[in-house]
């Protein structure tokens, strides 16, 4: 005995089977209320052939496309990548322009007694580069006038790697005195000259790392040697003048305690095209105006822009 629901389902199945058979093999189910469409003679024959021929089904490979939502910077054509703003000191461009104006006469000691003026310009390139390095080693903790005098005495004796190695320590000390720490510099000059002869054929290294590996050569000397001897700007040469002035002008994000710390802070924001100029510019400014003790703020064009001058 079937329940009413089962009886209804069986009856519906029987009707569907009858209709399917009446439409012929291969016919698909019709939608509700759809009347069969009569076939033409040619179409009927084709349908019969289709119904008796095996059908091969080929599975088409489908490519899965996954879309990702881009960030705002990635949307649209020609979108520029996000850039982090670089810190720079307030009014630094005007301060720099004022210092250039105050240094326009180029009459500070560094302008005619600096390292660029201490070597023999008529000597062979290798000798010139060695003399540049030697003048830098002598200039540490020494005024330009004293360094220039020592270089003149050395050049009068014939200033080459070989001549220095053939000079005894006592004589060399007399020639470079009274440069600062002259006894230590005698030792460093001899050691460095021996290394240059053995490893570099009497020339000086062409990289900051190799120059700093030499006895008595620090970062400032290495960067200046690269600029003057090799014509390569490798970094900002920071001495006591540059260190003092940039801190007074607040050209570092925070106060720095050493010239090397100052160099790293300046190179983070100062345009590279100014790296070569900044040493000579500020050294002369420090020799004439922004003195270590009792700076001449009254005659400085940056008096109103200098944070240090406001506290004096």
Residues with catalytic function: 220
Backbone angles phi, psi at 264, to 5 degrees: -60, -40
Decide: 188 and 172 in contact? Cβ < 8 Å. Answer: no
Q: How far apart are CA 232 and CA 249, in angstroms?
A: 27
Decide: 210 and 56 in contact? Cβ < 8 Å. Answer: no
Q: Minimal CA–CA distance to 270: which of 99, 147, 92?
A: 92
Three state DSSP letters for the chain = CCCHHHHHHHHHHHHHHHHHHHHCCCCCCCCCCCCCCCCCHHHHHHHHHHHHCCCCCCCCCCCCCCCCCCCCCCCCCCCCCCCCCCCCCCCHHHHHHHHHHHCCCCCCHHHHHCHHHCCCCCCCHHHHHHHHHHHHHHHCCCCHHHHHHHHHHHHHCCCCHHHHHHCCHHHHHHHHCCCCCHHHHHHHHHHHHHHHHHHCCCCCCCCHHHHHCCCCCCHHHHHHHHHHHCCCCCCCCCCHHHHHHHHHCCCCCCCCCCHHHHHHHHHCCCCHHHHHHHHHHHHHHHHHCCCCCCCCHHHCCCCCCCHHHHCC
- CA 157, 163, 168, 169 torsion: positive or negative? positive
Tell the residue number behind the tokens 């200098």, with chain if given. Answer: 306
């Amino acid at each position: 005995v079937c329940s009413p629901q089962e009886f209804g389902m069986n009856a519906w199945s029987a009707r569907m089977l009858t209709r399917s058979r009446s439409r012929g093999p291969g016919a698909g189910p019709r939608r509700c209320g759809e009347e069969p469409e009569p076939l033409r003679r040619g179409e009927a024959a084709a349908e019969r052939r289709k119904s008796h021929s095996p059908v091969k089904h080929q599975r088409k490979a489908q490519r899965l496309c996954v879309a990702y939502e881009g960030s705002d910077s990635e949307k649209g054509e020609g979108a520029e990548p996000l850039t982090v703003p670089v810190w720079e000191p307030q009014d630094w461009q005007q301060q720099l322009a004022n210092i250039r104006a105050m240094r326009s006469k180029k009459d500070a000691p560094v302008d005619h007694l600096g390292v660029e003026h201490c070597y023999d310009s008529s000597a062979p390139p290798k000798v010139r580069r060695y003399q540049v390095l030697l003048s830098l080693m002598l200039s540490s903790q020494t005024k330009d006038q004293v360094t220039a005098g020592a270089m003149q005495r050395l050049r009068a004796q014939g200033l080459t790697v070989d001549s220095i190695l053939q000079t005894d320590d006592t004589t060399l000390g007399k020639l470079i005195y009274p440069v600062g720490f002259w006894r230590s510099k005698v030792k460093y000059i001899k050691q460095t000259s021996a290394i240059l002869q053995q490893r570099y054929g009497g020339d000086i290294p062409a990289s900051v790392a190799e120059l700093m590996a030499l006895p008595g050569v620090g970062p400032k000397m290495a960067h200046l040697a690269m600029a003057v001897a090799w014509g390569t700007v490798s970094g900002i040469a920071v001495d006591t003048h540059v260190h003092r002035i940039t801190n007074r002008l607040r050209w570092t994000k925070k106060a720095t305690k050493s010239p090397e710390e100052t160099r790293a802070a300046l190179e983070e924001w100062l345009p590279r095209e100014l790296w070569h100029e900044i040493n000579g510019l500020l050294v002369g400014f420090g020799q004439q105006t922004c003195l270590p003790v009792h700076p001449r703020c009254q005659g400085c064009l940056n008096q109103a822009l200098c944070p240090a001058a406001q506290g004096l």
